[in-house]
């Protein structure tokens, strides 16, 4: 019997779908799960794809079933379970075999695992996979980090299963060690911001304009035909129009307003802060999810504080305001993407990855959650200048920001005056206003710091740096 081209451990929903995708694309795959019953069930339900699948019930049989050097995808819960699975695998592997973590791993764990294997003869890949269950089954966006030789071994399989955009596979090798998982982390951070901004616009339509879910869905459907065309706008229309089969009411009206999170958004914020790169839209989105989770506290606070006493939310020209909402969302999304790419650019410098920015934008155009129309424009911008300081100063995006930030300002103002929370939209506006202002206000902060302790400060007239005579104190 011919050996499998690749192996996969972990037949949960994501692992099963990815294995079926691999098999369907003509690749022979060996599969293993710690519970043999799951392996048998998966194989029994594989139908016509059984001929491409080698089900294994022991680690020994599993490893023997794969052609050396053996690439083995580990698709299990992130964290300690991955380390434990790697330890179980190692005694059975040979030089140049490749362990591939395809979960939502912290890139620092990936770097640690990469380093731990460097003298063992084994190699490691940290592989970000975006697209959820549907993407895993029919074509995800795949972000690979590891040795280039390891990438070459798995490239034919991964290219075959990746999503395609105009025939181009949405998969790429992005650099060594944690590069792939870092890019996936920032992808998810942008996703957090995008989803929060959409939710805030929904809140304005629901609580400000008093529109019902289905009507709001129609608005998002119209927007999806234009510049906001994206997967998240598309599914927002779908969920807003979906009816509960029991009551017939919009399903979104019956869903508790508590949003969960798995950690990647928080990791994005932590790494941005560590590197000193502002990612305010992502920060606002992560904080908003945290606030959403304290439902009982919010209910108690409303009893004590009440809602803002602002009167009726008034819009003079409804059609014009809807256009403003569309443009405001576009502007805010640009801010979120610009921040995400700025974080990746700084990480590329700090970790010596040489991240290919045009390629990242290209592989996000299909298969992934944040796929959207203007990723083509991001690709073009980085192709023209891979070292641009920020997307919002490129010709295409500066024009879009200039065109739409007035609408963002009006929407944020209307929401604030109407007592409607829009933390992510407001953060995007604040980011634009701060980034575009040559003379900011940090001079007074530096003066305060100098007062606390003789730090000194740079002068705008170029004269020698001055140290305040006010004594030493707290280093702020």
Per the listing, tokens 């634009």 go with: 432
Contact 101, 72 (CB under 8 A): no
Whether the bond into 476 is cis, omega within 30 of 0: no
What is the per-residue burial (b if ≥16 Cβ within 10 Å, else e) of 315-345?
Answer: beeeeebbebbbbbbbbbbbbbbbbbbbbbb
3-state secondary structure at position 173 = strand
Q: Return d(Cα 121, Cα 447) in angstroms, integer.
A: 55
DSSP string, 403-436: HHHHHHHHHHHHHHHTT---HHHHHHHHHHHHHT
Which residues, in sequence order, are CB contacts of 314 under 8 Å at separation 6+? none
CA–CA distances in Å: residue 235 to residues 28, 130, 131, 213, 375: 34, 16, 13, 13, 18
Give helix then strand counts, H and E, for the chain.
19, 10
Whether 241 is a known active-site residue: answer no
Contact 279, 339 (CB under 8 A): yes
Whether 323 is a known active-site residue: answer no
Task: Point out the catalytic residue in the list 184, 241, 266, 333.
Answer: 184
Task: Point out the catalytic residue in the list 5, 176, 191, 326.
Answer: 191
CA–CA distances in Å: residue 82 to residues 68, 146, 264, 349: 22, 17, 17, 28
Q: Return d(Cα 351, Cα 360) in angstroms, integer.
A: 17
The token duo for 423 is 């933390």
What is the per-residue burial (b if ≥16 Cβ within 10 Å, else e) of 60-76?
Answer: eebbebbeebbbbbbbb
Q: Return d(Cα 19, Cα 35) in angstroms, integer.
A: 17
Q: Which residues are catalytic?
A: 184, 191
């Amino acid at each position: 019997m011919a050996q499998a081209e690749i192996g996969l451990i972990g037949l949960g929903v994501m692992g099963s779908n990815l294995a079926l995708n691999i098999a369907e694309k003509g690749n022979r795959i060996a599969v293993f799960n710690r519970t043999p019953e799951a392996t048998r069930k998966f194989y029994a339900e594989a139908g016509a794809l059984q001929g491409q699948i080698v089900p294994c019930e022991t680690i020994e049989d599993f490893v023997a079933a794969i052609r050396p050097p053996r690439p083995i995808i580990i698709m299990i819960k992130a964290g300690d379970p991955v380390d434990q699975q790697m330890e179980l695998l190692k005694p059975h592997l040979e030089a140049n075999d490749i362990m591939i973590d395809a979960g939502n791993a912290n890139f620092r764990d990936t770097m640690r695992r990469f380093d731990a294997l460097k003298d063992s003869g084994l190699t490691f890949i940290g592989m970000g996979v975006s697209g959820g269950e549907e993407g895993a089954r029919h074509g995800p966006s795949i972000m690979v980090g590891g040795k280039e030789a390891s990438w070459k071994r798995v490239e034919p399989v991964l290219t075959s299963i990746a999503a395609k955009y105009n025939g181009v596979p949405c998969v790429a090798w992005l650099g060594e060690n944690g590069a792939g998982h870092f890019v996936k982390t920032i992808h998810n951070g942008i996703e957090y911001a995008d989803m929060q901004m959409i939710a805030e616009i929904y809140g304005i339509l629901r609580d400000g304009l008093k529109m019902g879910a289905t009507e709001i869905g129609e608005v998002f459907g119209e927007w999806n035909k234009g510049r906001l065309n994206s997967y998240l706008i598309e599914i927002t229309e779908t969920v807003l129009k979906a009816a509960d089969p029991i009551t017939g009411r919009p399903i979104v009206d019956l869903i508790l307003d508590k949003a969960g999170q798995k950690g990647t958004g928080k990791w994005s914020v932590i790494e941005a802060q560590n590197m000193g790169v502002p990612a305010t839209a992502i920060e606002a989105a992560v904080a908003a999810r945290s606030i959403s989770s304290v439902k009982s506290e919010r209910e108690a606070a409303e009893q004590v504080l009440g809602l803002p006493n602002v009167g009726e939310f008034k819009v003079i020209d409804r059609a014009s305001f809807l256009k403003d909402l569309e443009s405001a969302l576009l502007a805010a999304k640009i801010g979120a993407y610009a921040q995400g790419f700025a974080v990746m650019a700084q990480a590329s410098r700090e970790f010596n990855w040489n991240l290919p920015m045009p390629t990242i934008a290209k592989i996000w155009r299909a298969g992934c959650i944040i796929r959207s129309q203007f990723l083509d424009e991001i690709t073009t911008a980085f192709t023209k200048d891979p070292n641009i300081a920020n997307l919002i100063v490129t010709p295409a995006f500066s024009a879009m920001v200039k065109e739409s930030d007035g609408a963002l300002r009006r929407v944020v103002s209307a929401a604030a005056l109407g007592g409607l929370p829009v933390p992510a939209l407001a953060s995007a506006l604040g980011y634009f206003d701060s980034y575009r202002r040559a003379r900011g206000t940090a001079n007074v902060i530096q003066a305060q710091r100098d007062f606390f302790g003789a730090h000194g400060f740079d002068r705008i007239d170029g004269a020698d740096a001055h140290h305040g005579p006010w004594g030493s104190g707290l280093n702020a």
